Amino acid sequence: MGRAAALALILVGSVLIAGCGGSAGSKRENVQPPAELAELVPSITVERVWKTSMGKGEGRMGLRQRPVAGDGRLYFANIKGEVSALEAASGRVLWEQEFEDLRFAGAPGFGEGTLVLTTLDGIVLALNPDSGTERWRATVSSEVIAAPAVGRGLAVVRSNDGRLFAFGTTDGARRWVYDRALPSLTLRGNSPPLIVDSAVFAGYDDGNVVALRIESGSPVWEQPVAIGEGRTDLDRMVDVDGEMVFRDGQVFAGSYRGQVVAFDAGTSRPVWNREMSTYGGLALVGENVVVADDRGNVWALDRRSGSATWKQDGLGFRWLTTPAVHGGHIAAGDVEGYVHWMSAEDGRLLARERVGKKPLRATPIVVDDLLIVASTDGDLAAFRVL
């Protein structure tokens, strides 16, 4: 491991905390503690449907491990090489497999009848989702902690050294590779690729979003979400690390120490931009883009103009996950294991539930009427709004 990579790993906690402690140009020397939670009288009823342990969690590795949903099931893999399929409605285990030689990272990918997992050792593994039996495996150039994208006959994998690899979902044959240089110091995390029609979109640690042709991996366009400025590598960090979203011909992306931007997906023309620093991803609800900034404020931005529809500032410095849309509301997890539900109309806090005392880092997922959240110690829990 090179010195820059080692520094990036060391700074998993300290840099991200610094990011959560202030926006671009912040000179705070002390980490801001999470805001105390005000007493809340719930205005909606939330029940925990089930909770289970999926073995050893990621701890402080910064992998944002979570399951992927497909065909009414949840598929989860941990760093001990264990893979499980659960019935989403009940949490009942349907099958389990163990791969002693592999250390799974991040979230799996699912699509076209294929489950795709990645590892800290640069292995890509495809499984039969009905049984967990291995179909094929391939090798990439470094660890993979971003969820693969599966579609159009390809599994697209983003490795930590900046390369995008495309493999055939049926045979694992490598179709193409896109290579891009990275800054010497970055946050721990990568934006997962996004497949839309005949294009693949990817966010990078230099603050750019690129669009590639899915059949060849050749570039179509690139546009900056942020431009790194300052004298040091730390000052210039502007990673695009969270999930991008797509609707009606537009791609929405956000960056650390940068902006939230809407692009025309075909031409790369910026439609609007709003200065905001985020280490997570975006969600779409109704006509709004919802994002948690690096200070723990949750914003709803009009998806056509970028203007603020509402702001929720009662969860300051709680290291919120990427928001999810659940039961018509907004839900996000935090560093102390709480899940918070907010009104999609005005951002009011509606309810909260606690999974446990360990942080929730990964983006919650929604399966039918259930919100599924994963903690860093490997616990999974499902909630329903009544």
Does the pLDDT at position 18 exceed 70? no
Helix, strand, coil percent values for the chain (each to nearest 5): 5, 40, 55
Indicate the range of 8-12, 43-47, 107-111 predicted with least confidence.
8-12
Does the pLDDT at position 301 exceed 90? yes
Q: What is the pLDDT of residue 369?
A: 97
Give me the number of domains the chain comprises: 1
Helix ranges, the chain (H):
3-20
pLDDT range class, residue 236, cuts 50, 70, 90 = low
Of all residues in the chain, what percent carry a pLDDT higher than 70?
A: 88
Of all residues in the chain, what percent carry a pLDDT higher than 90?
A: 78
Q: Residue 58 belongs to a domain with what CATH number?
A: 2.130.10.10
pLDDT range class, residue 205, cuts 50, 70, 90 = confident
- The model's pTM is 0.89
Indicate the range of 209-213, 240-244, 284-288, 332-336 predicted with least confidence.
240-244
Q: How many Cβ atoms are within 10 Å of 357's Cβ, its own excluded?
A: 10
pLDDT range class, residue 112, cuts 50, 70, 90 = very high
How far, in Å, are 177, 282, 313 from residue 77 at the CA level?
A: 25, 24, 34
pLDDT digits (tens, 9 = 90+) for 169-203: 999 999 999 998 775 555 566 889 999 999 999 99
pLDDT range class, residue 241, cuts 50, 70, 90 = confident
Beta-carbon contacts of residue 264 (< 8 Å; ≥ 6 apart): 249, 250, 270, 271
When pLDDT is averaged across residues 294-312 and rounded to a whole number, the result is 97
Q: What is the pLDDT of residue 81?
A: 95
Range of the domain at 230: 3-385
**DSSP-assigned letter for residue 151:** E
Q: What is the pLDDT of residue 206?
A: 85
Q: What is the pLDDT of residue 23?
A: 36
